[in-house]
Amino acid sequence: MTTFDERDTELGRARVRDNEDLEAYYAELDRLDAGALWTVANDIEPWEPHAFAVPVLWPWAELRGRALRALDLVSPEEAGRRVVYLRNPQRKDISAACGLLFSGIQVMRPGERAPGHRHGASALRFIMEGAGGYTIVDGHHVDLGERDFVLTPNGTWHDHGVAKDGEICLWQDGLDIPLVNALEANWYETHPDDYQTALYPDNDSPRTFGSPGLLPASYRWQKSYSPLLRYGWDETYEALQKAASVGHGDPFEGVIMRFTNPHTGGHVMATMGASMQMLRPGEATKAHRRTGNIIYQVAKGSGHSVIAGKRFDWQEKDIFCVPSWAWREHANASASEDACLFSFNDFPVIEKLAFSRSEGLAENDGHQYITEN
């Protein structure tokens, strides 16, 4: 029963060998809904952070058509949300894409609306395709364009739609559903009116809170999430380019900007953070790893990442994940164009619980050996 690896011979690790007396003893404890710690200690106290999820790349070339097919198979009214979710092969039981994060592709056609609801889980969205999409968050109507990043924090009423004269819209939903379920804290309510009506002028959130370095002087914000509900692509890309122009950069990430709550400078929501990074033409980063899970979407360009020794080639709109403590490094395939990666993560949870740990790879000039193909 006790499991060993070579290091488990060290004093301070469990190294009890089974024998007949012990087995009888374990059976007695089992009948009492109890057990001997030394039979499980080496499993429940791993030497290093252990991820259940494996790295996965979901190719948009395969996913897009499958998501569009759902348009003809179910309505938003029947489905609640018309979403194809991304399921890590090692996390099927909890419907997670990576760690305790959920990811799905939501698809809506012009004139459709998805019914309003709210829940204990928080959501974010990254718009992949289509014009005319919008979401209403607690009465705030927000228009959505390609590569915009939008929040629907926990407990907020939300419903989405596409204007009648819009296009078919596809976006990635990122939620902390598996986390909230693991903490046994999730709940769900449908909206009493089925659909919200906007209570404020359209786009009042980005228009009030979305100007760099400026906040309304009289505003007092008490909530756990950012008052800025949408981060537009144009401003985000411009921020990356400006930082790159003055030499800003990181050997592990390229040029990376974290989406922030303008009120606090902290993460956008209590449980999930997000970033946009730019790999300059020809740039290849060095390998590092950290505690926490990351789901990436290729916002622009093409390249590859090496994750836990395996190479994943990516194109625009592909989605891939990096489980906790897996080595990761990224490379832009182009010598003339930049490549941008949107990502969201569970870092706010890791940081608040004081579980942050990270390291760079020392060997082989900071690059992984590719061990698997």
Chain residues that interact with ligand GTQ, rule: CB under 6 A: 81, 83, 104, 106, 123, 158, 173, 175
Judged by CB, which is closer to ligand GTQ: 41, or 79? 79
Q: What is the number of other CB atoms lying within 10 angstroms of the CB of residue 107?
A: 26
Alpha-carbon distances of 144 from 85, 111, 300, 321, rounded to whole Å: 21, 15, 18, 24
Least distance in angstroms from the C-beta of 80 to ligand GTQ? 8
Contact criterion met (CB below 8 Å) for 54 and 324: no
Judged by CB, which is closer to ligand GTQ: 158, or 330? 158
d(CA 109, CA 175): 22
Alpha-carbon distances of 348 from 272, 329, 345, rounded to whole Å: 6, 22, 8
Least distance in angstroms from the C-beta of 348 to ligand GTQ? 19
For residue 276, the one-letter residue type is M
Least distance in angstroms from the C-beta of 158 to ligand GTQ? 6
Least distance in angstroms from the C-beta of 77 to ligand GTQ? 14
Sort 133 into a burial class: Cβ within 10 Å, 0-12 / 13-18 / 19+. buried
Least distance in angstroms from the C-beta of 173 to ligand GTQ? 3
Least distance in angstroms from the C-beta of 227 to ligand GTQ? 20
Judged by CB, which is closer to ligand GTQ: 98, or 175? 175
Residues 6+ apart with CB under 8 A from 282: 332, 334, 335
Residue 317's nearest CA partner among 64, 101, 88, 65 is 64
Reading the block at residue 96, the tokens are 């997670």
Q: Any idea what the Cα angle at residue 212 is, between residues 207 and 215, rounded to 5°?
A: 65
Least distance in angstroms from the C-beta of 224 to ligand GTQ? 18
Q: Tell me the three state secondary structure of residue 321.
A: strand
Least distance in angstroms from the C-beta of 94 to ligand GTQ? 14
Reading the block at residue 44, the tokens are 């429940």
d(CA 286, CA 83): 35
Size of the chain in residues: 373
